[in-house]
């Protein structure tokens, strides 16, 4: 994420950001950092949304209102932090309903909540896509370098050691470095998945994915 | 004053010369370095942030990364794993986590060697207040409401680190705290004054001040309120100078006058006029006297409070000798 939105970020100011569903004046109340930092959070929010939407539906289907309450609580506070006031207010209503055991309200209002959430994620996704414009050019230059299998294994193992030692940022840097090489499609896809999980702070999953990749590399499966 | 981490108090009691050297090294960091005393703030302090919400973790990281080394983990289990190998300086712990919640995690942390006494700040929402109360039983130092403001979070972390004795307290802040004790004493709220003293002695402060606050607290507990009040007033006097930047004392004094006043104090002491001697030292401190001499006057007054006029007399005599030698 740190590089994905770099090109626009360097020039963008917080007040220049305009996304339907987001009140930047509200966002500025909580965000004292740069526009680049804000857009990093926004990308996380977008990534998190892809996970949270089916999760909420699943919890509702299972009538697991305890965990539903936890998830909408998180949605409420992160939405408020990023200036998504309308969604935050709706999530607050669902949290309150879950707290008082009002399953009727949740079921009736769920599709509306999802609709607002999906629309917002769509707007954010569109904005981030524009921000990534130009990335492809830089990407082409990066793909020029080659790496042999032994060095790839050494660097992947080093990245695993970093995350095992709770140095996630260092691990992310090592993965970014690896992604600059010319890689086979499978390795590249796996490394991109690792990078995405690092963005989401899913370090246990990062460890699992890297171990899996190393096993495949060492067995010569790729 | 905040750079002093040695025991000035012992220096005063034992050897005046050592004291002079010590005070100078405290005032001038370059001398401190030459004396082999190293700063404890050489490395960035480590904050362990535990939250299953990636946006919260990213926000914490963004807010704190310039000042602290931030280690982020997204579950209680991973926090426990980290504490098995390392010891952070403070933990930011989310209350509402799906798998292992904040309280469960904290209970586990408190059983660990690296986590038993670590300062913890809970990240919570308004509805978690009961959980916060549970957290206080497990020794949390503070809680921060989500969504949080970066500056507020930073301020609370600093406050918690000060309360935990990890970082020193600035003189101005200490002065305000001690002033609260004085206000409480003066308004007859002795219980609050003792509680405030408890809070101050948990801070990382100059040992000389620490000793004085402890003494004052003991006096308050023994219901010797006037003595405690005098002790607190002296602490404020000591802190006054560094807080105000320049000398808080208003009147210049000649060497002859200073000597004469000290001789009067000695004369009172020889005649067992302890209170008169203490009063004269108080008057002397209203003048623009050297800082070292001021420290000696305060210490001598404390001896007098304990009716140890012999020690006070010895201290003043030594001070006069050192003064003549040009060491003060």
Task: Quote the pLDDT of residue A7.
Answer: 43
DSSP reduced 3-state for A132:
coil
Contacts of A163 in chain B (CB under 8 A): none
Flag whether residue B66 sits within 8 Å of chain A, measured between CB atoms. Answer: no
Q: How far is CA B266 from CA B255, B276, B300, B321, in A?
A: 17, 10, 11, 13
Is the per-residue pLDDT at B86 higher than 90? yes
Give me the mean pLDDT over the B167-182 stretch. 89
User: Shortest CB distance from A202 goes to which of B74, B86, B98?
Assistant: B74
d(CA A162, CA A168): 6
**Partners of B143 in the β-ladder:** B122
A41 chain-B contacts, CB cut-off 8 A: 55, 58-59, 62
Residues 6+ apart with CB under 8 A from B215: B231, B302
The reply to whether residue A201 touches residue B58, judged by beta carbons under 8 angstroms, is: yes
pLDDT, tens only, A140-188:
555 567 899 999 999 999 999 999 999 999 999 999 999 999 999 999 9
* Predicted pLDDT of residue B250: 57
Calculate how close chain B gets to A44, using CA atoms only, in Å.
6
Using an 8 Å Cβ cutoff, are B90 and B47 in contact? Answer: yes
Residue A32: pLDDT above 80?
no
Q: Is the pLDDT of residue A217 over 80?
A: yes
B68 reaches A (C-beta below 8 A): no
Whether A23 and A85 have beta carbons less than 8 Å apart is answered as: yes
Digit-coded pLDDT (tens) for A88-145: 999 999 999 999 999 999 999 999 999 999 999 999 999 998 877 755 545 555 556 7
Task: Select the residue of A29, A41, A74 nearest B58 (Cβ to Cβ).
Answer: A41
Substitution target in A2, A58, A77 with the highest count of B β-carbons within 10 Å is A77
Angstrom CA distances, A128 to A36, A135, A192, stand at: 12, 12, 17
Of B58, B82, B151, the CB nearest to A166: B82
A54-88 pLDDT, tens per residue?
A: 999 999 999 999 889 989 988 998 898 899 999 99
- Mean pLDDT over B102-113 rounds to 93
pLDDT at B11 over 70: no
Predicted confidence at residue B199, as pLDDT, reads 87
For testing contact with chain A, the best of B48, B51, B59, B63 (most A CBs within 10 A): B59
pLDDT band at B89 (very low <50, low <70, confident <90, very high): very high
Q: Report yes or no: B130 and B96 within 8 Å, Cβ to Cβ.
A: no
- Report the pLDDT value the prediction gives residue A211, as an integer from 0 to 100: 97
Residue B34 has pLDDT above 60, yes or no: no
Q: ipTM value of the model?
A: 0.80
How far A80 CA sits from the closest chain B CA (Å)? 7
Q: What is the pLDDT of residue B245?
A: 54
Lowest mean pLDDT among A31-35, A120-124, B16-20: B16-20
Q: Quick check: A32 and B150 CB within 8 A? A: yes
Q: In what order do the strands lie in the sheet with B142-145?
A: B69-73, B46-50, B90-94, B120-124, B142-145
pLDDT tens-digit readout, B225-270: 999 999 999 899 888 877 765 444 456 778 888 888 899 899 888 8
A105 in Cβ contact with A97 (< 8 Å): yes
In angstroms, the separation between the Cα of residue A40 and the nearest Cα of chain B is 8
CA angle centred on B218, ends B214 and B219, rounded to 5°: 115
Among A118-122, B207-211, B254-258, B289-293, the range of highest mean pLDDT: A118-122
Interface test with A, best of B131, B147, B155 (most A CBs within 10 A): B147
- Residue B159, pLDDT > 80, answer yes
Q: What is the pLDDT of residue B293?
A: 84
pLDDT at B244: 65
State residue A134's pLDDT score: 53
**pTM (predicted TM-score):** 0.67
d(CA B240, CA B256): 26
**A133 or B122: whose pLDDT is higher?**
B122
Residue B74 contacts A, CB cutoff 8 Å: yes
Whether B143 shows a pLDDT value over 50: the answer reads yes
pLDDT on residue B20: 30
Q: Which of B53, B78, B151 sits opposite A74 (nearest CB)?
A: B53
* Cβ-Cβ contacts under 8 Å for B174 (sequence gap 6 or more): B200, B203, B205, B209, B239
Task: Tell me which residue of B322, B325, B324 sits closest to B17, measured CA to CA.
Answer: B322
Contact A37 B62 (CB under 8 A): yes
Instruction: At B241, list the tokens.
Output: 């100078």
Residue B12 pLDDT class (50, 70, 90 cuts): very low
CB-based contact (8 Å) between B327 and chain A? no
Contact flag B73-A29 (C-beta cutoff 8 Å): no
User: Among A59-68, A93-102, B210-219, B309-318, which is the least confidently predicted range?
Assistant: B309-318
- For residue B80, what pLDDT band results from cuts at 50, 70 and 90? very high
Residue B326 pLDDT: 66
Residue A208, pLDDT > 90, answer yes
* Predicted confidence (pLDDT) at residue B40 exceeds the cutoff of 60: no
> CB distance B54–A81 less than 8 Å?
no
Q: How confident is the model at residue A1 (pLDDT cuts 50, 70, 90)?
A: very low
Of B279 and A139, more confident: B279
């Amino acid at each position: 994420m740190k590089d994905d939105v770099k090109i626009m970020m360097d020039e963008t100011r917080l007040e220049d950001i305009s996304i339907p569903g987001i009140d930047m004046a509200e966002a500025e109340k909580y965000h004292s950092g740069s526009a680049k930092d804000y857009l990093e959070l926004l990308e996380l929010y977008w990534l998190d949304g892809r996970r949270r939407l089916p999760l909420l539906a699943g919890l509702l289907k299972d009538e697991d209102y305890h965990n539903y309450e936890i998830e909408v609580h998180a949605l409420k506070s992160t939405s408020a932090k990023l200036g998504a006031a309308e969604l935050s207010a709706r999530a607050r209503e669902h949290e309150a309903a879950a707290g008082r055991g009002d399953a009727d309200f949740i079921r009736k209002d769920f599709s509306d909540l999802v609709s607002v959430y999906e629309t917002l994620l769509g707007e954010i996704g569109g904005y981030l896509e524009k921000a990534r414009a130009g990335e492809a050019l830089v990407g082409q230059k990066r793909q020029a370098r080659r790496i042999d299998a032994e060095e790839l294994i050494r660097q992947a193992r080093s990245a695993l050691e970093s995350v095992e030692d709770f140095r996630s940022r260092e691990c992310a840097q090592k993965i970014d470095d690896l992604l600059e090489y010319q890689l086979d499609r499978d390795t590249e896809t796996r490394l991109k998945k690792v990078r995405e999980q690092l963005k989401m702070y899913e370090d246990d999953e990062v460890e699992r994915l890297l171990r899996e990749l190393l096993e495949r590399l060492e067995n010569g499966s790729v | 004053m905040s750079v002093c981490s040695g025991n000035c108090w012992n220096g005063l009691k034992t050897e005046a010369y050592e004291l002079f050297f010590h005070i100078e090294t405290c005032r001038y960091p370059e001398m401190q370095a030459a004396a082999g005393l190293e700063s404890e703030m050489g490395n960035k302090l480590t904050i362990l942030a535990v939250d299953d919400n990636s946006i919260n973790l990213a926000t914490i990281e963004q807010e704190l990364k310039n000042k602290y080394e931030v280690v982020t983990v997204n579950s209680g289990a991973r926090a426990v794993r980290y504490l098995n190998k390392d010891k952070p300086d403070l933990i930011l712990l989310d209350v509402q986590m799906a798998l292992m919640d904040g309280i469960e995690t904290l209970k586990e942390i408190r059983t660990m060697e690296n986590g038993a006494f670590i300062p913890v700040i809970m990240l919570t929402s308004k509805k978690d207040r009961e959980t916060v109360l549970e957290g206080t039983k497990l020794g949390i130092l503070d809680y921060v409401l989500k969504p949080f403001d970066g500056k507020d979070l930073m301020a609370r972390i600093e406050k918690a680190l000060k309360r935990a004795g990890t970082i020193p307290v600035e003189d101005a802040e200490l002065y305000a705290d001690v002033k609260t004790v004085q206000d409480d004493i003066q308004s007859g709220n002795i219980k609050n004054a003792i509680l405030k003293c408890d809070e101050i002695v948990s801070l990382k402060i100059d040992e000389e001040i620490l000793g004085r606050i402890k003494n004052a607290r003991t006096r308050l507990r023994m219901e010797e309120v006037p003595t405690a009040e005098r002790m607190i007033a002296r602490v404020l006097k000591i802190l006054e100078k560094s807080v105000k930047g320049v000398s808080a004392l208003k009147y210049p004094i000649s060497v002859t006058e200073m000597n004469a006043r000290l001789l009067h104090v000695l004369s009172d002491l020889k005649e067992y006029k302890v209170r008169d001697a203490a009063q004269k030292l108080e008057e002397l401190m209203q003048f623009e006297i050297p800082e070292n001499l001021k420290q000696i006057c305060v210490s001598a007054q404390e001896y007098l409070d304990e009716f140890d006029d012999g020690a006070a007399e010895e201290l003043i005599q030594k001070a006069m000798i050192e003064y003549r030698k040009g060491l003060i």
